[in-house]
Structures are given as structure tokens and as C-alpha cells.
Chains A and B, each alone.
Chain A
Amino acid sequence: MLAAVATTLRRWPIVGRQSELEVFEKALRSGEHTGLVIHGRPGVGKTRLADECRQWAAVSGYPTERVVGSRTTALLPLGAVVALLPAGLSEPGHDGQLDTVALFEQTRRALHERHQGRQLVIVADDAALLDAASLALLGYLAAQETIFLIATVRTGEPVPDLLAGVWRDGRMERIDLDDLSRTHLDTLLHLALGGPIEAGAGREFWEATRGNPLYVHELVRGALGSGALVERSGVWHLEDRLPSTARLQDLVEQRIAGLSAQARSIVELLALCQPLELGYLETIAPAGVLESLEQAGLVTIAIADQEIRLAHPLHGRVVRAAMPRLRARTILLAQADRLAAASPDPGPATLRIALWRLDAGGRLDPAILMRGAHLARYAHDFRVVRRLIEAIPGDQLDAVGALLLGEALYELGDFDAAERVLARGQQLPGSEPVALRLAVTRAKNAQWGLCLPKAALAINAAARAVITSPQLAEELVADEASVLTFSGYPDQALAVLERIAGGDRRTRVVRAIAGSPALALVGRTAEAIRAAETGFADHVALGDELAIAHPAMHVVNQVFALTEAGRLAEAEQLVRAGADTVASHRVPIAQIFFAANRGRVAILQGRIATARRYYAEAAGLAEANRFAGPRWLALSGLALACATLGDAPAAAQALEERGAGPSFGFREPEQYLADAWTALVSRRPAEAERHLREAAAQAASTGHRTAESWLLHDLVRTSARDASARLRELADACDSPLMTARARHAVALLTRDARELAAAAGDFEALGAMLLAAEATAGAAEAFSRAGARREAAAALRRSSILAAICEGAVTPGLLHVGAAVPLSGREREIVLLAAQGMASKDIAERLYLSVRTVNNHLQHAYTKLGVNSRAGLAQALRSGS
């Protein structure tokens, strides 16, 4: 009966969207696209267009489905895509991991079978509100061409990360919807009302809505309902003024408030549990209520699916916001009970029931909560992991649950709670792989979260004592090495790694994470770079696993190794690319290390102001994510950069902030550069010297050879003490040209050998270490002048002042006698260095995404500052060696 009524009613027309429909049809048929993203402001008609596309697909013989994100569906991973899931729930494996890829693949196969291989067209309305696991599944299915995805995204909201991949590959078409033009609005009114409208009324609708289709819909339906809009002899007139609200939401609220109690209860039911079966609603709604709701444009009836839902997401939001919590709870629990009674078998219904019970604050089957937690973990949604597992009664939490919760607490920065949960998890029965992961995660929390490396080593040792599987034992050995590397004992770490014979892939990954930085720290940089590269490849092949660092950490390690090898330009390029990648992945620890390494590379390149900026960013990120150890590193770098810029108060301030937290063993000796330079810039040279000597001794005793070289070289730079013999020894023991250049510089400084100083400057410049090049050149100028070589002295002095100018305002003892050239800005420096290599302005503009005019402007400014008047003069002044 209702179906007959529904089809005879005039549908609300869709106007001005035919080109967009054609875009969809073409994308679907061409096979080149696997989805469509519809962007637009609220009410512009994204939902309607998406549904229109879906309907067209259905009529054309495609199977179709519709999912929608909401507060309720976001409670449980995959909550929004219940309708797609196959029956039967996957269980975690022996190692406590849920094989998410297998679950996705199972879903793909089930859909393929269910629809006999035809592509399923899915509308994902308000895609930004979908939970992360649902998005990951949709992205997977779209990439496999199992589905064609139509996603709506509000203007200003980003395309969700997990879909962005497919979108960036150009495999998703994009449509931007705008409000209707005045002419289209006139057509819409004409078609909706079925006849002409009086001119003043038409204008009033235009002025109230400015062509926003949902606004028009709500206003027209409201005015028809209230009798403000009436037809007289074939023409529509406004008898009353339109409601004078500027907010769409108010309008919807007014309309909902005008409903009868019976109609309202149906709308509330749909707002919480939609879509619902038509057959069921017909049994509970009094005759005529559903019809009147459809006529009022508040609900949509899909005859093909025999389902009813609210016409627009905004209707649901307004109703839910106004509903008392207790009433919502009653409705949700009643619906959950109804569905549970109707579908006794486990299957997709189980998840819907779980969602409703969860939303109502009711008790849930721990198995469902655990499964949800696994899926959320897969999508790195640690907040959801925490909420789901904390909903499991304490006495029912098993070892795997403790592992997931402990890891989530660690990731969320609640280190004390993580320690409690993980320690308890180790008391619970579980398989060996689970026991191993509990131990590894607990040790990681102790080291990185609580800053207690000794406790971490004790946890590791206790686990090694009881483990029986040789493979897992090897992983624990690799993990012991990791604790040693990251708490300041690279020599010991490398000795421990010798105990590992081959190891499975997981062990190799852990070994690379510990081994690469250890190798770099002891000055075996070529091996360190290789270890980072193969570690990354192994990690990618391994996939995302529990209790292991993020794959990006190998890239961090490679950047560090390249820096230690003196390959500064490569390090800079890699760190920039890496930082861009992790920024969108929400991996705080990698973001912190990328920012800190950017600062470190910049310091060595002599881009001191840039370094200050990145270190400040790293410190801020570490603070926000409560990583005390990395914060210690970042604040040390910040103090060093500030001191090098001559900003004593800022340097002291950074050190004071650093002192408020615990110290951190990883690369600890190097961090005292900050103390030394801060003392120096505060005119306490004796203290500076003491810091450098003590830190160098600490570095020597723990195997930090690259750091020892830096510290001793700075001792020579700032105090004219002799450390050249040890610097030479270190350079010979290691494979870093940066260390070799430092040793050469130290000897030349001591002997005041002008030619050797100039040669060292050439070495530094070739490595891109511009501050050191500037200082060595200044030293050469002084030595030439002492030797009476006036012409060479003048040339060297000139070159040193240009080199100093590109160091962004560095003020060091080695630059004391250099003429005060005006420092270049970061951008000017970048352009000058490219121009000095002979690159044309056009090519520079292309590389830096600037206009040629801007490049030339920067060059002119730089020439003026440097006192040269041409590119040739610039190249000559900067040419290395003499």
C-alpha cells in the first residue's frame, strides 16, 4: 500500500546536476576510475547527487549499497560498513594478531561472490565521519575494483587519509558542487511546485537561500506545511513571510519541532538506528505517519531495498542533539534486543547490535570488543583501542587484550598506566609470541616513556630467561641491543647483535632498528646506511605488526647515518621527504625524530636559523606527545642553535627547560655541545671547555666516535687547544669524510698553515658544511696575512665573509675577524648556492616552485649583501679551494 503511494508522489526534483551525473556515468563505465569524491558545503546537495548516482547505477544493473558515517558507527571499527561484511567473525591468531588483510580479502571475495563478479557501487555519505578501519576497507575494495566508491566530503574537510592514496593515484574522479544559480533555483521551484510562482515570492526564496538546495527544500516543505505557500488559480503565492533564520540548522529544528508525537518517535528511531526495514516500521507506525513523513521530505523510502532512512544527515544530527540521553538509550537497547531475537546466528547483525549496545552504554561481548580493538589498532586509532578494551571487565581481560591496551596507553603517552597493564598482562596465560610482545612493549615503555633504560634491560633479561623458542629468543636479543643503542651504549649494542646468527624477518627488522644507529654512532657509516636500507625493505615486506616500531624509523636511521657520513645534501633531501610522509600518518615519534634530524642536518650545513626552527618544532611535538627523552634531544639542539646564533638568553632558557626532565642516553655525549656553546656565548669559556672535554671522554668510553670527533673539533675551534692527534685517530678508525676534514682542519689550525686551512675549507664546502668552511677560510685569511701574502689574504677574507653570510646569522669565535657581511635569508642562501653552481634562474625557479622574477629579486638582494655584482663574481667568490 505504501509503495503505491510512494511512487505516485512527485519526487523532489534535482536541478543543475546533470553534467555531474554524466561525469559519474563516464567514470563508472570507463573502468579507469574506481570512485568519485563529491565535495561541497553543507546542504549543497552532495547526498542527493550521490543517491542519484546510486539510483542510476541500480537501474543500469549494478548492485548498490549505501554506508554512512555517524557518531554511533564511529564507536566500533567497521561499524559503518556492517552491510558489506561476510558472516562469521575472524579470530586473532596464535601471536595475538588479527589478520586484517585476510579479513579484507575475505570481504572482497564474499562481495565478489554475492554479486557474481559485478562491481558494487557504494555511496559513503559523510566519508570524513567514517571510522578509520571502515575507510581502510573501502580503500582496499576500491583499489581492487571490487567496488566503485562514491564518497561525499564537506568543503574544508580533508579527503580522509585512507582514501587519499586511491585519490592521489588519479583513480578517483572529483566533483565540486556549488549552490544553484538564480535561474536553476527558478527551475527547481517551478518543478517542485508544479507551476509558476509569483515574482516577489521567487525573489524571497532566492534572497533567503542564495541557491542552497537543502535550504530551499526545508523552506519550501516548511512553507507548504504551515500554509504560508499557497496556490491560487495556477500560481503560487507567499501569504506569510518565510522564517527569518540565517541558519539551516534552526530551520530543520523548527520543522522537526512541528511534527506530531507519533511522527517524531519514528524520526527519532531512524536517527539512532537507520536504515530500518520498511516491513518493521509499517507494523509500529500508525497508518499515514510514514506517508506524511515522506511527503514532508523527512524520510526516504528505498523501494528496492525495502528500507527507510532519514532524507538528509542533517535531519539525524538535529534529532539526536535534541533527544534526552535516557530516551536514546531505551530505544537503542530495545532495537538491539529486537535484532538479536530475529538473527540468532553470528554475522553482520552482531556488529550492528554491538554498536547499538555500545552507544547505549550497555554491556558487550568481550570477543566483539577485542575484534574491534584489533581493527582499530590496524588503523592506528589508539583512542578507540583504549576505549574498547577498557570496556572489557577487568577479570575477563586476557594477555592479548593487555598487550593491545598497554601499547595504546604507551602511544597515547600514559606511561604509568601502560606499565601497570603490561606487567599484569605478563602474569596472564598466553602463547610465547604474545609473552614476547608483552615484554618488548613493556621494555619500550620503560625506556622511551618512563626513561628508565635499566628497568628496560631487566624486563628484557627476565623475558630471555623463560623463553624457549630459539627464534623468539633471537628477537629478544635484538631488542636488548635496541635498548643499549637508544640508552647510549652503541659498542655494547653491536657486541650483543653479534650473538644473532640469521634471524627471521621480524628479528632482522628489530636488528636493523638497533643496529643502524649503533653503526653510525661508532663511525661505520657505510654499513649503517646499508642496514637502514635493508631494514626498511624487510619491514615493508613484513607489514604492520604489533610491538614493533613504525617503518619510518628506518628512514630516520638512514638520515642519521647519511649525516654522520658527511653526505649532508642527501640527508637533507631524505629527511624532507620522510617528514612530509609521516606528517599525514600520525606517527608522533617519527615526526619528532624527523624534525630533530632536520635541525641537526641544518646545524652542520650552517643553516643555523633554520636549525633553530626545526629543533623548536621537534621540542614542541615531543612535549605534546609526552616523549621526555626525544624532548631532551630536541631542547639540546635548540640551545645549540640559539647559542651559535649568539642568542645567550634563548640558549639558557632552552637548557633550563631541558633540565626540568630526565636526561636521555641516546646520543647523550653530543648533547653537551649545547651546554658548551651556551657557556661560551655567556662568556664562560672555561666552563665550555670543561663540558667539551667531559663529554668527549664519555663518548670515548661508550663508543660514540662521530660525536667524540664533533666535540673535540669544537674544542679546537673554540679554545685553540690541541686535540689533533685524537681527531686523526678517530678519522682513521671511521669512514666519514666529515671526520677526516675535521682532523685536517685541527692540524692546520694548530700549525697555522694557510694552504692547509684553505684546503680544509674546500673539504668542508664540498660536504656542504658551510659554517665550518667559513671559519676555515677565515683562518686561512689570517694565516696568509701573517705570512705576508696580502693578495691571498684579501681573497680568503672576502670568501669567508660570503660564506659566513650564508650561515643565517651564525656568530662563532672562528668568524670573529670576518668582515660583517649582512646575513642572507634562508631563501636567498638556497638560491645563491644553486646560482653559484651555474644553474640558470629559470631552472632555479622550477626547482623551488617560484617565479623567475622572484628568483632574480632574491639574487639581486643577495648580490648587494655580498658585495658582488654578477653570477660569475659569485661563483668565483664561492669556488672551493684556492
Chain B
Amino acid sequence: MTPEQLALVQSSYQRLGTRLPAMASRFYQELFSRDPALRALFTTDMTEQQVRFALKLTEIVQAMPHLDELLGHTRALGARHVGYGVHAADYQTVGAALLAALAAVLGDDFDAMTHEAWATAYNLMAETMLEGAASARPIGS
């Protein structure tokens, strides 16, 4: 990522402000419309799930400028998701849903530069989560 992209991700996230719960809700809507089968992976109450998602995303966005800190979050998160039955292909669906949710809530503020910054940031998150997932998988075998 470039320093500008890091800044753009953080400032646009901040701009969500009170609309964060709306974005989280929209995210799951986008996710399930892309792949209804994923709904089966969520056993908890969806409202609670949305809150957890928003909190985790906030942590990750804040940690993003410091790689070691970011890895601390994402690797552990990826390792946990193995247990939920999440596969590498699902990460693409999640990324697309996240970008769509941000675009829907931020409106005109989500311009092309911001879109690219988020796409790059999400790839970094996803790859490091997957790395955590890969090292977690054999233990369960």
C-alpha cells in the first residue's frame, strides 16, 4: 500500500461515523445476496454478529499502518475462521460485499481513489488472514 492509500482508508472509515452499523448491516445483505449458502455459517444472532464485525473492522483499520500489529489481528482472525468452515474462495465474495457496502453508505465520498485504496487494503487483510488460516489448518487434521 502507499501512505496515501492508508490515509484514505482510515479517513473514509472515520467518515462512516454513526453510519457504521448501517454499513455492517448492508455488508451482510450484500454478502448473502452474493452467496446465500454462506448464511448457514452464521449461527449467532445477526444483530450481535453485525456489532462484532464492526468492532473487528475498526480494530483492523486502526492497526493498518503498523504491519506487526495488523498481523496480530488478521492472522488470529483467519485461524479462527478455519473452524467456521470458510474457504479461500469465500474471501473474494467477502471483499466484493465489503466494497459494495462501503460504496452504498458513503455514496459520492467513495470515489475511484478510495475504492482502489480499500481494494488494496482488503487484499492485504485477506492474504494475511489466509496465511493465519493455512497455519491453523493442519492442527485440526
Contact = CB atoms under 8 A, between A and B. Distances in A.
Contacts of B68: 194
Given A21-B134, A186-B120, A196 B3 contact: yes
B112 interface: no
Contacts of B120: 183, 186-187
Contacts of B89: 19
Interface string A194-211: 111111001000000000
A416 to B, nearest CB: 62
Nearest to A199: B2
Nearest to A60: B138
A15 B127 contact: yes
A692 to B, nearest CB: 72
A189 to B, nearest CB: 9
Contacts of A235: 3
Contact of B88 (A18, A186, A198): A18
B138 A59 contact: yes
Nearest to A15: B127
Contact of A18 (B5, B67, B119, B130): B130
A710 interface: no
B127 A191 contact: yes
Contacts of B124: 186-187, 190-191
A57 to B, nearest CB: 8
B141 A191 contact: no
Contacts of B67: 190-191, 194-195
A61 B123 contact: no
A29 B141 contact: yes
Interface in B97-137: 119-120, 123-124, 127-128, 130-131, 133-135, 137
Contacts of A104: none
B22 interface: no
B65 A18 contact: no
A483 B26 CA distance: 85
Contacts, number: 68
Contacts of A186: 1, 120, 123-124
Contacts of A729: none
Contacts of B96: none
B127 A187 contact: yes
A173 B24 CA distance: 39
Interface string A45-73: 00000000000100111000000000000
Contacts of B48: none
A196 B124 CA distance: 11
A22 interface: yes
A721 interface: no
Interface string B1-33: 111111000000000000000000000000000
Interface string A14-44: 1110110110010001000000000000000
Contacts of B135: 59
A483 B4 CA distance: 84
Contacts of A788: none
A234 interface: yes
B34 interface: no
A61 B138 CA distance: 8
A184 interface: yes
A346 to B, nearest CB: 38
B87 interface: yes
B138 A198 contact: no
B46 to A, nearest CB: 27
A356 to B, nearest CB: 37
Interface residues of A, number: 29
Given A22-B88, A186-B120, A234 B65 contact: yes
Nearest to B87: A22
Interface in A53-96: 56, 59-61
Nearest to B7: A196
Contacts of A13: 127, 131
A183 B2 contact: no
Nearest to B125: A187
A177 B120 CA distance: 21
Contacts of A187: 120, 123-124, 127
A199 B88 contact: no
B127 A18 contact: yes
B6 to A, nearest CB: 6
Contacts of A29: 141
B138 A191 contact: no
Interface in B67-95: 67-68, 87-89, 91
Nearest to B120: A186
Nearest to B134: A21
A22 B85 CA distance: 12
B119 A197 contact: no
A152 to B, nearest CB: 19
Contacts of A21: 88, 134
Given A25-B137, A56-B134, A184-B123, A190 B1 contact: yes
A183 B119 contact: yes
Contact of A183 (B4, B123, B130): B123
Given A183-B120, A186-B123, A187-B120, A198 B141 contact: no
A16, A18, A22: most-surrounded residue (chain B CB, <10 A): A18
B37 to A, nearest CB: 17
Given A19-B89, A187-B123, A234-B65, A60 B128 contact: no
B3 to A, nearest CB: 5
A18 B141 contact: no
B138 A202 contact: no
B86 to A, nearest CB: 11
B124 to A, nearest CB: 5
Contacts of B4: 199
A150 to B, nearest CB: 16
A22 B91 CA distance: 13
A60 B3 CA distance: 39
A196 B1 contact: yes
Given A197-B2, A199-B4, A60 B134 contact: no
A187 B1 CA distance: 7
Contacts of B5: 196
B123 to A, nearest CB: 5
A18 B2 contact: no
A521 B6 CA distance: 85
A447 to B, nearest CB: 61
A18 B133 contact: yes
Contacts of A19: 88-89
Nearest to A200: B2
Contacts of B123: 183-184, 186-187
Interface in A143-191: 183-184, 186-187, 190-191
Given A18-B133, A19-B89, A191-B128, A61 B3 contact: no
A21 to B, nearest CB: 6
A218 B141 CA distance: 36
Contact of A56 (B3, B87, B138): B138
Interface in A225-271: 234-235
A56 B136 CA distance: 10
A78 to B, nearest CB: 32
Contacts of A190: 1, 67, 124
A183 B95 CA distance: 13
Contacts of B3: 196, 198, 235
Nearest to A197: B2
A16 B92 CA distance: 11
What are the 9 tightest A-B residue pairs by CB atom distance, in nearest-first order?
A60-B138, A18-B130, A19-B88, A199-B2, A18-B88, A183-B123, A59-B138, A187-B123, A187-B124
Given A22-B87, A186-B1, 20 more contacts: A14-B131, A15-B127, A19-B88, A21-B88, A59-B138, A61-B141, A183-B119, A187-B120, A187-B123, A187-B124, A190-B1, A190-B124, A191-B67, A194-B68, A195-B67, A196-B5, A198-B2, A199-B4, A234-B65, A235-B3
8 contacts: A14-B131, A19-B89, A56-B137, A60-B138, A183-B123, A196-B2, A196-B65, A197-B2
Interface of A: 13-16, 18-19, 21-22, 25, 29, 56, 59-61, 183-184, 186-187, 190-191, 194-199, 202, 234-235
